[in-house]
Chain A
Amino acid sequence: MVKDLESLLSVNSRGMKKSQIRELLKLTADPSIISFAGGLPAADTFPVEELTQIINDVMSKEAHLALQYGATEGDTLLRTLLVERYRKQGFNISLENLIITTASQQALDLVGKIFIDRDDKIIVGLPSYLGGLSAFANYGAEMIGIPLDEEGMDYTKLKHALEDLNSKGEKPKFIYIIPDFQNPSGITMSEKRRLDILELAKKYDVLIIEDSPYRELRFEGTEVQTLYALDNTEQVLTLGTFSKIFAPGFRIGWVIGNKEILDKIVMAKQATDLCTPPFTQRIVARYIEKGYLDKNIEKIKIMYREKRDVMLKAFEEYMPPQIKWTCPEGGLFLFLTLPDHLDTSELFIEAIKEKVAYVVGTAFYCDGEGKNTMRINFSYSSKKMNVEGVKRLADVIKKYL
């Protein structure tokens, strides 16, 4: 009998911290809780009818391909369709510039794996997406956080950070940016900021990782070009996914970028899961081909806009005047800032008692700050529940003020 099983495991595993946020999220499983915590799309956006029809087609006509092993870089048909889609959006790319991953989480992990050695520096937003931070932390990255303003990552602070590193002869491995409807803040980076940051990246020879899961869900305002398309010199790797515009259960995402880098990612992917399921890839490909994806995106945008509007209105109505929130023009999230002396992890327990949940803001700050902030998802619950949840949340906050 082994007495100390843990001692036989990898240092990396033993060092793995139980994610506080995961522990908190477990509390939200109670169905009577209105949860603004998850990053989940609304289930009524799932195209069940179209899907069953396409599955029928795929299984009767191309099961020999869909059920067989596939290439690590992904289904050529799906890649071709995505490349065409992106070319229409100003991307100067060909087939070799796009590979399929098992959704964005895998892309983030593989990016971490191929670039980061322990103690390498990377630059991230304050706040930034938790799944990204955790994927990079996993490879021992040292994170330098740059605050956001209304136009995205603060240019002057980023410039200073890069200058400072440069003066010490150091170079960050990459800058991690979610330019559209950022998770968690909901902020969209302005075109000027994108151009300025691209220029900095070039000057200091730093790669930009552009994580773009929400971009197609813009329901207001004017579209801003992606960092990739603004540059088109392969200074940028762009990550995309079907999770928010189709269905997260399908686990399909992609990476766009320089061929050499993609070759490395493919090699690393081969050692992780060999290939993304060819079955689901082929279904999504046929789904796009039939024009269903674009129709579905239009439908989602209308739904989410209504949900956001209802929520913003409820904030106006119920929240005390000291509370500030962002007004995203798309995506799934908005961000709440409470007065400095309040701690949203203390409030969380009370909120659960009042049957409403959110994600504690500190989870998104690599420097442990943001104690007075929280992320709110407006896409998952119904409009009615959005209003009711905001009411409950406002009551909890008032108790602490």
Chain B
Amino acid sequence: MHISFYIAAVVAVVATIMVITSYNMIHALLYLVVSFLAIAIVFFVLGAPFIAALEIIVYAGAIVVLIIFAIMMLNLRQESVEQERQWLTKEILIGPAVLAVILLGELVYIVSVSHVSTDVVKRVIDSKAVGMALYGPYVIGVELSGILLMAGIVGAYHLGRQRKKVVHRFLERSEE
């Protein structure tokens, strides 16, 4: 079982690298779906099958599809790919990449030096245990999540609304 963890981890990392280096936005999103599916396999191997299902349904199924719909509404053409090719050049990429790799090296060093950790406990935590914890000690978090989703719905509606333009001979510039 543990070999599938490493295979899925390699697939996830490679797919994420393809996401951040591709110029076509739709291709990037399809690679992102592959990355999310690989991470779902990682969750399954780690003993969280409920979270693996949620990862596929919500991340790969809802969020990516929402972004694809937004891209379709923007009606982008081939010029956007060329413009992305101009924006993302090697010399722009090299500075932040080196700094982030240095930070990752520090993280690896800290994790490898501290000898406190052991192996992952092989026990599947099913959805019943998650539900008991979610509606037991964490019920205030569920209520706050409801408030957050409500604010998200109202905010998305308010921001996404098209302003009705009032056309008048004299009053057209009065909005500014």
Asked whether A and B interact, the reply is no
